[in-house]
Amino acid sequence: MSASTTWAQIIGPGKTVTLDIPDDANMYITNVCIGEFSEESKNTPQRLLAHIITIDPYQDEDQVDVSKLPHTDIMIASLMPEEREHEVINFCFSPLNIVKLHNQGTCTIHIAGYNVPIEDEEEEEEEEEENAEEGDNSGDSPDDTANNDVDEVDEIDVQTKLLALSKNKPKPAPAQKPPPPPPQNKPQHQQQNHQKPQHQQPQQRKQFQQQNNKFKNDNFKKDFKRK
């Protein structure tokens, strides 16, 4: 395993430099700061721009026209004297990149970073992938499994208790029907008022007529004698 190396570079005002990227390493820019500045530069932004060209590895280098290759323009940092003179950044460039840095300002700009061999980065990526796969295959830890079992048991206990309570819950008494209203007592009429007069027997009626006639005759005789 190769060791990483650090690097630094100074870019004067209005100057452009091309980064010297190793063929077997990736270059990182991590720090940018302003050098000495004059009174006239205090209120002037100091910007560091990058023009990045990407090379096709399958093309022949002798036949490559760099001017026709795809490129990208980005701003690496924007600094201000006495306000923001330093920035911590993280830009990575590979051996397939041609990087030109341009100081668009009136102050000197200092840049620094480190180079990491590509083999080291590939090994680190493989180790990270293996660790991720082992973590996925390991599944839940014993503690997590035990906690899940406890949660399931608790849920079963709760359901069992609820079921028992529902069975032991007293059933509501059937609704009682309201008692029927008391019967209204109708006034009893006297039987004598409703009794029909009984018809007299013929013999009794005859005797009554005879007595009545006799009474009339006696009264008539008395009246006649008085006269």
Order of strands across the sheet that contains 86-93: 5-11, 109-117, 25-34, 86-93
Tell me, yes or no, whether 195 lies in a domain: no
Question: First CA to last CA across the chain, in angstroms?
Answer: 183
Q: What is the DSSP-derived secondary structure letter of residue 84? A: B
CB contact at 8 A, 114 and 6: yes
Instruction: Report helix, strand or coil for 104.
Output: strand
Cα atoms in the 13 Å half-sphere on the side-chain side of 183: 3
φ/ψ of residue 30, rounded to 5: -120, -20
pLDDT value of residue 105: 93
Domain that holds residue 21: 5-137
Could you tell me which of 48, 147, 39, 164 has the C-alpha nearest to residue 100?
48
The CATH number covering residue 131 comes to: 2.60.120.340
Tell me, yes or no, whether 144 lies in a domain: no
Is the pLDDT higher at 16 or at 176?
16
- DSSP secondary structure string for all residues of 139-184: -S-HHHHHHHHHHHHHHHHHHHHHHHHHHHSPPPPPPPPPPPPPPP
In sequence order, what are the residues at sequence separation of 6 or more whose Cβ sits closer than 8 angstroms to the Cβ of residue 56? Answer: 64, 69
Tell me, yes or no, whether 71 lies in a domain: yes
- How many angstroms separate the CA atoms of 74 and 32, rounded? 15
Tell me, yes or no, whether 63 lies in a domain: yes
Pick the most confident of 65-79, 150-164, 200-214: 65-79
Q: Can you tell me the mean pLDDT for 116-133?
A: 79
- How many angstroms separate the CA atoms of 57 and 68, rounded? 15
Residue 86 scores a pLDDT above 70? yes
Residue 114 scores a pLDDT above 60? yes
Tell me, yes or no, whether 163 lies in a domain: no
Tell me, yes or no, whether 38 lies in a domain: yes
CA-CA distances (angstroms) from residue 94 to 23, 55, 97?
8, 10, 6
In sequence order, what are the residues at sequence separation of 6 or more whose Cβ sits closer than 8 angstroms to the Cβ of residue 45? Answer: 78, 79, 80, 105
In sequence order, what are the residues at sequence separation of 6 or more whose Cβ sits closer than 8 angstroms to the Cβ of residue 131? Answer: none
Tell me, yes or no, whether 214 lies in a domain: no
In sequence order, what are the residues at sequence separation of 6 or more whose Cβ sits closer than 8 angstroms to the Cβ of residue 71? Answer: 51, 52, 53, 54
State pLDDT tens for residues 161-218: 555 555 554 455 555 566 666 666 555 544 444 444 455 455 666 666 666 666 566 6
* Count of structural domains within the chain: 1
Tell me, yes or no, whether 157 lies in a domain: no
CB contact at 8 A, 89 and 25: no
pLDDT value of residue 150: 46
